[in-house]
Amino acid sequence: MSATLAQAALTAPQGFLSPSGVEIAFLLVGIATLGAAVMTVTTRQLVHAALWLVVALGGLAVEYLLLTAEFIAWVQVLIYVGSIVVLLLFGLMLTKAPIGRSPDADSGNRWVALTVAVAAAGTLVWVVVDAFRTSWIDLDGPAQGSTKVSGEILFRHWVLPFEALSVLLLAALVGAIVLSRKSAPDDTPGEASAAAAPGGRSAAAPGEPSAAAPPETESR
């Protein structure tokens, strides 16, 4: 630890009060990211929450670029902004989320949640600032997260976890299909009552437009 501190002291050309250009850029993008994140969790329009999430995740991609992790930044843009937010928007549409302001977007325990979040933020900020007061990141030299470096370390040292991760993705894919398909045709009493119970609302859901249709058309 003392070696790390000494190295940090050697590679620390400036202090708090003379930020470099990359620090100013990081700070500005960080403020925008944090504002978008706060809007995501506080807005009352559900679709706007997903769109603010796009801003927050895009800001984080810029932060990765500023930290010279280039490949992570593009993966972030591709996967989070490109697929996960689109998936969330599809989920909002399939569950018939109200367009416009919904007055009950926050539950009744939001003040307890706010207290917990502010207490956790205060404690963690205090601990982190106290711990890394004298630590500087040396961003000079070759980029540490370029696509070449990432590919080399991923397929040279991390091949086995990578393959295990592909198995996990396959399992998640199969699990999502199993969860979202209709039940078997011999379960028709349970299925009929479940479909009729919410007052026809689920029968008109756009994902399953023919809940009253014969089940053979949907369960493959």
Partner 1 sequence: MHLAYPAVLAVLLFCTGLYGVLARRNAILVLMSVELMLNAVNLNLVAFDVWLRDTLHGGQALTLFTIAIAAAEIGIGLAIVLAVYRNRGSSDIDRLRDTAEGPDPADPEGPEDPAAPAQKAEAAA
Q: Is 143 exposed, middle or buried (0-12, 13-18, 19+ CB in 10 A)?
A: middle
- With CB under 8 A as the contact rule, the residue among 74, 208, 215, 218 that binds partner 1 is 208
Minimum distance from residue 78 beta carbon to partner 1 (Å): 9
Minimum distance from residue 6 beta carbon to partner 1 (Å): 15
Nearer CB in complex with partner 1: 175/214? 175
Give residues 5-24 in contact with partner 1 (rule: CB under 8 A): 16, 19-20, 22-23
Minimum distance from residue 188 beta carbon to partner 1 (Å): 15
Alpha-carbon distance of 179 to 165, in angstroms, equals 21
- 173 scored as a contact of partner 1 (CB under 8 A): yes
- With CB under 8 A as the contact rule, the residue among 9, 110, 192, 214 that binds partner 1 is 110
Give residues 127-146 in contact with partner 1 (rule: CB under 8 A): 128-129, 132-133, 135-139, 144-145
- The two tokens of residue 1 are 């630890």
Alpha-carbon distance of 54 to 61, in angstroms, equals 11
Give residues 34-93 in contact with partner 1 (rule: CB under 8 A): 34, 37-38, 40-41, 46, 49-50, 53, 56-57, 60, 63-64, 66-69, 71-72, 75-76, 79-80, 83-84, 87-88, 90-92
Total Cβ atoms within 10 A of residue 58: 20
What letter does residue 121 receive in the DSSP assignment?
A: H
Contact yes or no for 182/218 (Cβ under 8 A): yes
Alpha-carbon distance of 72 to 171, in angstroms, equals 24
Alpha-carbon distance of 121 to 118, in angstroms, equals 5
Minimum distance from residue 117 beta carbon to partner 1 (Å): 4
